[in-house]
Amino acid sequence: MAIDDRTTAVPADPAADPAADPGLEAGTEPGTEAADSAPAAGGTKSTWGALRPLLLRIHFYAGLLIAPLLLIAAVSGLLYALSFQAEKIVYSHELRVPVGERVLPLAEQVAAAREAHPDGTVTAVWPSPEDGATTRVLMTDPSVEEGKSLAVFVDPYTAEVRGDLPSYGSSGALPLRAWISEFHADLQLGETGRNYSEMAASWMWVVALGGLALWIGRRRTAKRALVLPERGPKSRRRTLSWHGSVGLWAVTGLVILSATGLTWSRYAGENIDAVQTQLDGSTPAVSATLDGAAAGGDTGHEGHGSGHGTAPAAQGPDVGIDRAVQAAHDAGVSGKIAVTLPTEGNGYVVKETDTQFPVHLDSVAVDPADGTVIDELRFADYPVLAKLTRYGIDGHMGVLFGLANQLALAALMVALILLVVWGYRMWWLRRPTKERKLSAGRPVPRGAWRKLPVTTLLPLAAATALVGWFVPMLGLSLLAFLVVDAAA
C-alpha cells in the first residue's frame, strides 16, 4: 500500500513534486520535513529525486489494485497459520490416545487399518512420532478425491482404529487445514484461481521494497520516527507513520513469503525450477529401485513428495515393515519418520520427516527381500540451493520452527492486513470530494517514467524487462500500467 510523504519544499518542476499521489499519497503540510526528492543545489536532480515520482506512481497503483489480492492472501494465510493448533483440537480423537504399556509392531497396526478398509491400498505409514500419538496408515481409496490419501488413525498400543480422514500434502493436512490451504492457494477455484495467488506473490515484494525505499528516503528530524510510529491524536500523518514503521519491520518477512510463494506458482514457478536445475540445486531423492537406477527429484511442496498416490502391490518376498524400519534405524534414520511401502521393482523408503529446525530429513531405501539398505541420502549432502529451498518452503508452510513459526506467520499476516487497511484509510482521507479537489498538495503527474534521465531509464528498463520475463504476471500487469499511463 501507499507510503505517504509531506514536504514544504517547492519543486523545480512538476515531475519532481514530492507531494502525494491523488489516491494514496499526501501533499504539502506545514511543519514537516523536506523530502529527499527536492532538487540538488544548482537545479540538478539526483537519481533518487528522479526515481521517486516513479516509485510513488507504481506504489499507488499497486496499492490500489493489488492490495485486495494481498488482503485475501493475508486473511487466508492468517487462518492457515492458526489451523495447525485448531487441527489438534478438532481432530483430537483421531490424533491422540492414552499412553499404553507397549507399542505394537507396525505390521499389526497396518493389518488393523486394512481390515477396517478392505477396498483401500496401503501406500505409506507414519508411525506414532511420540507417546500418546496415533499411527497414520495412508491409503488410496475410492472415497477420496485424486491427489489426496485416506489417513487411517490407529492406536499404536491396542491397534484400535480411531477413525479416518482425507489427508493432503507432505505435512499431512487434514480436512480443516487442507481446505484453508487450498483457499489460500487458489480460492477453491482450481487452476484458474492460482492466478490470484501468483499475482499477489509477484507484486508483494515490489510493493514491500518500493514502500521501504520511499519510507527510508524521507528526511526526518528524529531517527526514532523511522522505526517507531508517531504518537498524538488520530490524523492522516499518524496513519502514515504506523504504515511506514510497521512496514519497515515486516518487509523482510513479506519478501521471503513472496519469493517462496512464487515457487508454487504456475508460470514463475516453472522458471524457478529451470534455474534450480541449471544450477544443480534440485532436491535429490533416494533411489528405491531394486536395480539401483536413479530416482526422480522431489521438491517437497505441499501436495507432493508425501508418499500419497496409487501404488501397485509389490512382487516377491517381503521381510515386513518392522524389519525395514529397524534397518533404517540401524542406518541412522529414526525419530519422526514416514515409510513408503514397496511396489513392483521398488523397495521400502524410510524418510525422516522432522522439519523443525535443525531439520532431520535423512532417508534410506531398503530391499524388501532381505532388509538390506540399498541406498541412502543425507540432508547434509543436499546442494546448498536445495537446502535453502527446503528451509524457505517449510517456513512458508509454518512447520520449520513449529509453534514459533506459526505465531510468526500469524503476526506477519496481521501486519499485512493492517498495512492494507492503513493504506486505504490514507487514500480515503486524501480522496477528492465536492468540497475540495484535493485535501492537500499536488499529485505526482502521470508519465513519471518518461522524465527519467536516459542513463537511468535504460538500465531500469532492461532490469524490469528481465524481471517481467522471469515473473510473467508481474511483467504483464506492469506493462498494462505503463500503457495506460502513457495513453492517459
What are the grid coordinates assigned to 59, written together?
506504489
Lowest mean pLDDT among 85-89, 139-143, 482-486: 482-486
User: pLDDT-derived band of residue 50, with 50, 70 and 90 as boundaries?
Assistant: confident
Asked if residue 42 has pLDDT above 70, the reply is: no
Average pLDDT over residues 168-194: 94
Asked if residue 176 has pLDDT above 90, the reply is: yes
For the question of whether the overall pTM of this predicted structure is more than 0.85, the answer is no
Share of the chain above pLDDT 70, in %: 82
Tens digits of per-residue pLDDT, 278-322? 999 999 999 999 974 444 444 444 443 334 444 445 567 899 999
Average pLDDT over residues 435-458: 65
Q: Rounded to whole angstroms, how far apart are CA atoms 47 and 31?
A: 26
Q: How would you write 279-317 as a 3-class SS string?
A: CCCCCCCCCCECCCCCCCCCCCCCCCCCCCCCCCCCCCC
How many residues in the chain? 488
16-30, 36-50, 170-184, 447-461 — most confident range: 170-184
Cα–Cα separations (whole angstroms), residue 384 to 368, 391, 420 = 32, 11, 35
Asked if residue 17 has pLDDT above 70, the reply is: no
Q: What is the pLDDT of residue 45?
A: 56
Asked if residue 389 has pLDDT above 80, the reply is: yes
Asked if residue 7 has pLDDT above 80, the reply is: no
What are the grid coordinates assigned to 382, written together?
543436499
* Three-class SS state of 468: helix
Q: Rounded to whole angstroms, how far apart are CA atoms 167 and 52?
A: 49
Strand intervals (E) in 57-134: 121-126
Residue whose C-alpha cell is 492466478: 195
Q: What is the pLDDT of residue 196?
A: 94
Asked if residue 137 has pLDDT above 50, the reply is: yes
Asked if residue 124 has pLDDT above 80, the reply is: yes
Average pLDDT over residues 27-38: 37
Q: What is the pLDDT of residue 430?
A: 74
User: pLDDT-derived band of residue 437, with 50, 70 and 90 as boundaries?
Assistant: low
Q: What is the pLDDT of residue 349?
A: 97
Q: What is the pLDDT of residue 307?
A: 40
Q: What is the pLDDT of residue 298?
A: 42
Higher pLDDT, 439 or 418: 418
Average pLDDT value for the chain: 83
Pairing mode, strands 121-126 and 161-167 = unpaired
Tens digits of per-residue pLDDT, 197-223? 999 999 999 999 999 999 998 877 778
DSSP 380-431: GGS-HHHHHHHHHHHHHHT-SSTHHHHHHHHHHHHHHHHHHHHHHHHHHHHS
Asked if residue 442 has pLDDT above 70, the reply is: no
Asked if residue 13 has pLDDT above 80, the reply is: no
